[in-house]
Structure 1
Amino acid sequence: MNDTVLEIASQPAVWAHGLALAGEARAALAAPGERTLVLGCGTSWFMAQSLAELREAAGLGETDAVCASEFVPRRRYDRVVAITRSGTSTEVLDALRRLPAGVHRVAVTAVDGEPVDDLVDTRILLDFADERSVVQTRFPTTLLAMTRAAFGEDLGHLVADGEAALATDLPADPAAIDHLVFLGTGWTVGLAHEAALKVREAAQAWSESYPAMDYRHGPVAVAGPRSLVWSFGAVPASLDDVVRAAGALPYRDDRDPLAQLVLAQRFAVALAAHRGLDPDHPRLLTRSVVLA
């Protein structure tokens, strides 16, 4: 039982804590009518994509998501939200420093007293969702649970769905899978990218992710009998026929997409175990990227 496994299993209880912060998050993240940018790197960038889609879909205003390392201050924003678990990621800090005066800066982080604190006007601290692991699991999912509640979504089912995802069987034997593809639509495209990253980080395995309807525009060509194609959220059921025609195994379920991500995290860890890898010590990775 390693830290990654324990943190995956803790998510339903941690989500309940995050949901209680919906009011604080609404004040910091909703800002109705303001033009907003969300920044992050790695997992945090994928969460930024989901957050941006959720905010626009809730009718709160124009929202962009940009990888912090690619940020160039060309557009005008009223508010910039930086997602950084550690509060130390160099590219996120540099992006905040490049913002013009007058922009309201918000950080969502898991650690108190780090450099990001001095660069923002408002901070949401999710220290109860922090992780010992390099591979992020409960911090990003708690962020999205809190955000969805802040934007008005009824998540009364979420904790139970998460508990069910911890108890259910995996969708396939990891020994039978060499290739994973994750598909999403709307805000779950970010979840698809995050699930694929977990497989690469924890299991050093071949994984891809796409907006669902783009999958047939080329990527399906590499699917085969040892491919598992996993759909998050309201992906059209017709894609399963495309997957089967390629000889691959489709998977989807009716639980909340965050609970589906929990199951994908479990699969990544199981695949790591099958490959003789320790997800607590992923190859070439550190908890935060701090550049000289």
Structure 2
Amino acid sequence: MAADIDEQPAGYARLLDSANAAAIAHVAAVVAERRPRHVVFTARGTSDHAALYGAYLTEIRLGLPAGLASPSVVTLFGARPDLSDALVVGVSQSGGSPDLAEVLRSARASGALTLAVTNAPGSPLAETAELSIDIAAGHERAVAATKTYTAELLALLMLIEGIRAGDGVLPAAEREALAALPDLATRTLADDTPAQLAPRYRFARQLVTTGRGYAYPTAREAALKLMETSYLPALAFSGADLLHGPLAMTDPEVPVLAVVGSGPGGRSMGEVLPRLGERRADVVVVGSADVPGATRLAVPEVDERYAPLLDILPLQRLALALALTRGEDPDAPRGLKKVTATM
């Protein structure tokens, strides 16, 4: 897991190189020409959080309605939704889950434009879809996904910005900003604060993660990593949803990881943090925002769209360090396999 985490800056650079960028630009141009009226994502597990990030990008940057499909609608209940005007995107590191392939097969039969975003270009998912993007993350050794998750994020970002451009080619300013990500990721991973923080949670019985907008998928993915590797019950909430009731469960015995950036989503957390303070919750702030008096996992400031590619890195390292601190083996989580086949 440690090796996979450390490979992420190189993975960013690889996906941004000319050949991979050109392949994503081609797919983006095809999608832009087809002019879908809405976008539906389908995914499971970690990839579901990448898909949620893609849905935020789609609605904010493209102005198109977006949502996440429930595969069981097709596979268990036999429904065949009319997706003739949609782009349907399957996101999966392995591309091997039969239910995701079935969703794309059904969508394509109804006239949808289908796209697979996967680390396995020869997988059933990629073969089912009309279009595919190889996230080029390389072999991921650990069961808990890390580098494939961030590669999915970056591929979706490049895809959606390419669709927005119309011809798939990102504006020069966008390319320049993305080119800085590998170095920023290296800087983020060099900070040893996550390992120092892990003993603080050694005996925690539950934990809450929270964030808004682009940060919400990060909160959900962080909660999943903690559950997978440390078996620590972790509940993820949108900052807005946290105020609608779950706030009551927070207290000094329930740690809170709050993902807070410098954009609109981060600023909106200004309503949440004081309420957590009233509950005397044990709060650690993750991100670029400077919150006076708060313990921080600091991340370089970038455009809020890019922040999920950096914010998750210290949280992955925290999950790794916490598993080791609690005497667990993060490379062999009990009951988990690299590919989970569901229908």
Aligned positions, number: 289
Comparing 221-230 with 167-176, which one deviates more in the overlay? 167-176
Q: CA deviation at 1:80?
A: 1.1
Work out whether residues 85 and 130 of structure 1, in 8 Å CA contact, stay in contact via their aligned partners in 2: no
Matches within 5 A, 1:121-136: 121-136=130-145
Comparing 102-111 with 224-233, which one deviates more in the overlay? 224-233
Instruction: Give 2:101's match in structure 1, choosing from 82, 93, 97.
Output: 93
Q: CA deviation at 1:16?
A: 1.3
For the pair 1:24 / 2:23, whether they are aligned, the reply is: yes
Structure 1 moving runs of 4+ over 4 Å: none
Instruction: Give 2:3's match in structure 1, choosing from 3, 6, 10.
Output: 6
Query: Alpha-carbon deviations, 1:88-134, whole Å to 9, x = none?
Result: 11221222232234222211111242222331111112243441221
Partner residue, 2:331? 280
Q: SS state of the match for residue 124, structure 1?
A: strand
Residues 104 and 288 from structure 1, CA distance in 2 versus in 1: closer, same or farther, beyond 3 angstroms? same
For the pair 1:241 / 2:274, whether they are aligned, the reply is: yes
Q: CA deviation at 1:57?
A: 1.1
Identity %: 27
Q: CA deviation at 1:204?
A: 0.6
Residue segments in structure 1 that go unaligned for 5+ positions in a row: none
User: What root-mean-square deviation, in Å, do the aligned CA atoms of Structure 1 and Structure 2 show?
Assistant: 2.3
Q: CA deviation at 1:29?
A: 4.9
Partner residue, 1:159? 182
Partner residue, 1:74? 81
For the pair 1:215 / 2:215, whether they are aligned, the reply is: no
> 1:291 & 1:238 partners in 2: Cα distance?
39
> 1:224 & 1:43 partners in 2: Cα distance?
28
Partner residue, 1:58? 61
Residues 60 and 16 from structure 1, CA distance in 2 versus in 1: closer, same or farther, beyond 3 angstroms? farther
Residues 29 and 133 from structure 1, CA distance in 2 versus in 1: closer, same or farther, beyond 3 angstroms? farther
Query: Alpha-carbon deviations, 1:66-103, whole Å to 9, x = none?
Result: 24345554343432111111111122122223223422
Work out whether residues 110 and 139 of structure 1, in 8 Å CA contact, stay in contact via their aligned partners in 2: yes
For the pair 1:201 / 2:228, whether they are aligned, the reply is: yes
Residues 243 and 108 from structure 1, CA distance in 2 versus in 1: closer, same or farther, beyond 3 angstroms? same
> 2:69 & 2:212 partners in 1: Cα distance?
18
Larger C-alpha radius of gyration, 1 or 2? 2
One-letter amino acid of the counterpart of residue 175, structure 1: P
One-letter amino acid of the counterpart of residue 24, structure 2: A
Partner residue, 2:197? 173
Q: CA deviation at 1:10?
A: 0.9
For the pair 1:231 / 2:255, whether they are aligned, the reply is: no
> 2:88 & 2:55 partners in 1: Cα distance?
11
One-letter amino acid of the counterpart of residue 46, structure 1: H
Which structure features the higher share of helix residues?
2
Comparing 245-254 with 256-265, which one deviates more in the overlay? 245-254
Q: CA deviation at 1:231?
A: 1.4
Q: CA deviation at 1:165?
A: 1.9
Return the TM-score normalized by structure 1.
Answer: 0.89
Query: Alpha-carbon deviations, 1:13-69, whole Å to 9, x = none?
Result: 111112233443244357343122111011111111110110221125332222434
Residue segments in structure 2 that go unaligned for 5+ positions in a row: 162-169, 289-298, 300-306
Partner residue, 1:252? 286
Residues 257 and 232 from structure 1, CA distance in 2 versus in 1: closer, same or farther, beyond 3 angstroms? farther
> 1:73 & 1:116 partners in 2: Cα distance?
18
